[in-house]
Amino acid sequence: MSANSFDARSSLQVGDESYEIFKLSAVEGSERLPYSLKVLLENLLRTEDGANITEDHIRALGEWDPSAAPSQEIQFTPARVIMQDFTGVPCVVDLATMREAVKELGGDPAKINPLAPAELVIDHSVIADKFGTKDAFTQNVEIEYGRNKERYQFLRWGQTAFDEFKVVPPGTGIVHQVNIEHLARTIMVRGGQAYPDTCVGTDSHTTMVNGLGVLGWGVGGIEAEAAMLGQPVSMLIPRVVGFKLNGQLPAGTTATDLVLTITEMLRKHGVVGKFVEFYGEGVTAIPLANRATIGNMSPEFGSTCAIFPIDAETINYLKLTGRSEQQLALVEAYAKEQGLWHDPSVEPVYSEYLELDVSTVVPSISGPKRPQDRVILAEAAAKFAEALPTYSAEASKPTTVTAPDGSSYQIDNGAVVIASITSCTNTSNPSVMLGAALLAKKAVEKGLHVKPWVKTTLAPGSKVVMDYYEKAGLLPYMEKLGFNLVGYGCVTCIGNSGPLPEEVSAAVNEADLAVVSVLSGNRNFEGRINPDVKMNYLASPPLVVAYALAGNMNIDITRDALGQDADGNDVFLADIWPSEQEVADTVAGSIDEAMFDKGYQDVFAGDQRWQSLPVPTGNTFEWDAESTYVRKPPYFEGMAKTPSPVTDIAGARVLAKLGDSVTTDHISPAGNIKAGTPAAQYLTEHGVEKRDFNSYGSRRGNHEVMIRGTFANIRLRNQIAPGTEGGYTRDFTQADAPVSFIYDASQNYQAAGIPLVVLAGKEYGSGSSRDWAAKGTALLGVKAVIAESYERIHRSNLIGMGVLPLQFPEGQNADSLGLTGEETFEFTGVTELNEGRTPKTVKVKAGDVEFDAVVRIDTPGEADYYRNGGILQYVLRSLIG
């Protein structure tokens, strides 16, 4: 029950139903707040308890100063938690382990139970092993179940053991698309109350739901577990960036071009830790699918969220996707009652302002290694040639490939070896998906073919996509070009592109070619997409098809021919690009409400394969000592009811010295497990054949694999082991400090009782909200990280695992301070945390160098987590206390 200090409790009548609501107008100043802060304000009014959330917190939000630096901590209680299976499996593993730990400490295991709806969508496991054939989907699903049976049985146990926990089985869709098409409520109803739907998710692209007016963002799995157990998310009232949109997209451009432009603008402006909110006349012209595409890319520009307010377009989308009439009426009535309905004529108050005339957007792609590196399509070939020397010493290395049928062809640097329509970002958007299919139709009618070295895959975000492809009669054209359905999942974008054909892979590796993937995804980081592919580009689905036809990044697809027709005439991109009207007419004629009703009719039931999996029983899990997928982690071993005092750190050695833009993919890769690495050695020792290694992502329920995979990205460059690429360091416990695997060195350091430190540059931990990037770091024995700057989620994840995040003094870094990584480090002043205060800085002594490092424990709540050795330990002690 809310303390209701502002007398905000009221009721709202919608049709025959009456709902309890908390009126924002009860708080002075609420009407001028941005949309996103109004949602936070309602959250505080409804959850005010006089302790964690007080009258002062609510007043502080009402009096928000847009120009001030964030300083006021608040506790945000999300309405629900959403997960995918890579990050969700370790969540459920941790909850199962917590049940045992509570029991051992004399508490009630049943207290470890989600207190709010927690929904998990299995979408990250399917790999495109098979492609280009009609039965590729069926074969890939068979392989997926074979590989992941242990994990799926474990998740089915979780479904029965935990209340409020539901699982969407494999082969249904991508978590964020399932979220916007079915799971999102926009306005939540629970216990007679109506309130804004809010969520945190274990995937950074949870922000896709921002397109529906739902405030939500990605958190680490450890924060998500805490949220499931009723622990509010500790945060500072953020700065809010108002992004005004005007005009309409010009002909020939897509939502992907718009989002790549916005990504570049916002990354340049600097929005890490800030909310971004879209407003203005131009918003009303943006279809909801495009809003969701923009919201989805929030992690790529670094903001916490990228939200659109509720308006008529929101209602239209909810109706299309099969929400009930009562729900539609409630969303509209609630939004209008609470001042959450978008009025384009009103200019809200923001901390910072940006503006884009949408009519100036031009066709673009992004690459070769970061989403924010936008390239104008007309300049793509020239920009590729500029970037190539970083990846290959030679501009050209023609290499002959002999196919299994005896035919041969030549590939060279820049060959497009993967063309994949994949990922939540674009496959949720009918205009770009149908645009790609119309382009395929025109290409087939002109007699064009995809080049023989291109691996083509189609991985939609939901079954609805295949329904509208079939209704529009366009599927045969996609299949004629090799874009057959390979699975409903993230696939290429998460690193599950599957192997290249053996002859292509062999040629690429023998000649050390710099070959290319083009995908309609949101992530193109180094080493993520495929181990054979050095350069990766993000593009709209129609451009993915176009590049599959071109077959090479050296071709200027805006001017050069993509191929020849039956009469030998050149065919250009402009000849096969569908008009805006064609796309609009096809969308209007091929999508209806019934498709969504059918697709989500029994979404949690699953097919025969899912239903026939044997399910363990009992409210604690019976761990299988032989399992290589699901093992009990060591986080709570020897944990006492009260935490030990925090200590300073002495005698620490550097495990890794890293440059700028080191992503969570570098720290904890999700893709292939490379033969010969510590993770591969572990699996081999446990009787796993190389073909069954699966991916790091699929093995996140086994801490033994994940520790060995930490810092194991094949493209990682550790500066204290110069000349190496991959998971290597120097081991200073040995004479002459030889180069060794990071895991092996860590074991030696821990055996000798030597704490470890990581040095890093700017934007450390950008990318996915990958809790294993922090868990693995902690389990390797790292006690502190010193970086120039952090991405929001990874910094909080480090604290959640008891690792101290520090920042170099403003304008300084490891190199400017003369640090080589060979020094021994001491950190003093950390013990001030025992006094209930968080020091602004701690003294760092590294060899002869001394400096004050900024402590990046940003809120009192985070300080509590660090004092307890981590967020889960804090929650456990709270529950038994």
For residue range 251-283, what is the model confidence (pLDDT) as tens digits?
Answer: 999 999 999 999 999 999 999 999 999 999 999
Instruction: State the pLDDT at residue 446.
Output: 97
The average pLDDT across 659-680 equals 93
Residue 347 has pLDDT above 90, yes or no: no
pLDDT band of 107, cuts 50, 70, 90: confident
Give the CA distances from residue 862 to residues 71, 468, 836, in Å, rounded to whole numbers and listed in that order. 14, 47, 12
Residue 770 has pLDDT above 90, yes or no: no
Rg (CA), the chain: 26
Distance between CA 233 and CA 186 in Å, rounded?
A: 20
Residue 804's SS3 state is strand
Instruction: State the pLDDT at residue 259.
Output: 94
CATH 3.30.499.10 placement within the chain: 364-599
Instruction: State the pLDDT at residue 335.
Output: 98
pLDDT band of 243, cuts 50, 70, 90: very high
Q: Mind giving me the DSSP string for 156-206? A: HHHHHHSTTEEEE-TTSB-HHHHIIIII--SEEEETTEEEE-EEEESSGGG
Strand order across the beta sheet in which 352-357 lies:
305-307, 275-279, 240-246, 352-357
Q: For residue 677, what are the contacts with CB-CB under 8 A and spacing of at least 6?
A: 708, 709, 712, 726, 727, 741
The average pLDDT across 41-58 equals 94
The average pLDDT across 740-763 equals 98
Mean pLDDT of the chain: 95
Residue 769 has pLDDT above 80, yes or no: no
Pairing of strands 728-730, 649-657: unpaired
Q: What is the pLDDT of residues 278-304, one digit of tens each?
A: 999 999 999 999 999 999 999 999 999
Instruction: State the pLDDT at residue 475.
Output: 98
Instruction: State the pLDDT at residue 839.
Output: 97
pLDDT band of 130, cuts 50, 70, 90: very high
Distance between CA 309 and CA 332 in Å, rounded?
A: 12
Distance between CA 291 and CA 308 in Å, rounded?
A: 7
Instruction: State the pLDDT at residue 223.
Output: 86
Instruction: State the pLDDT at residue 526.
Output: 87
Q: What is the pLDDT of residues 82-104, one digit of tens each?
A: 999 988 899 999 999 999 999 88
- Quote the CATH superfamily of domain 649-880: Aconitase, domain 4 (3.20.19.10)
Closest C-alpha to 634, from 779, 742, 818: 779
Strand order across the beta sheet in which 17-22 lies:
9-14, 17-22, 193-196, 187-190
Category of 64 on φ-ψ map: left (φ > 0), alpha (ψ -120 to 50) or beta: beta
The average pLDDT across 419-431 equals 92
Instruction: State the pLDDT at residue 880.
Output: 84
CATH 3.20.19.10 placement within the chain: 649-880
Instruction: State the pLDDT at residue 615.
Output: 87
- For the record, the structure tokens of 20 come out as 């309890």
| H/E run at residue 104 | helix 85-104
**Class of domain 364-599 as given by CATH:** alpha beta
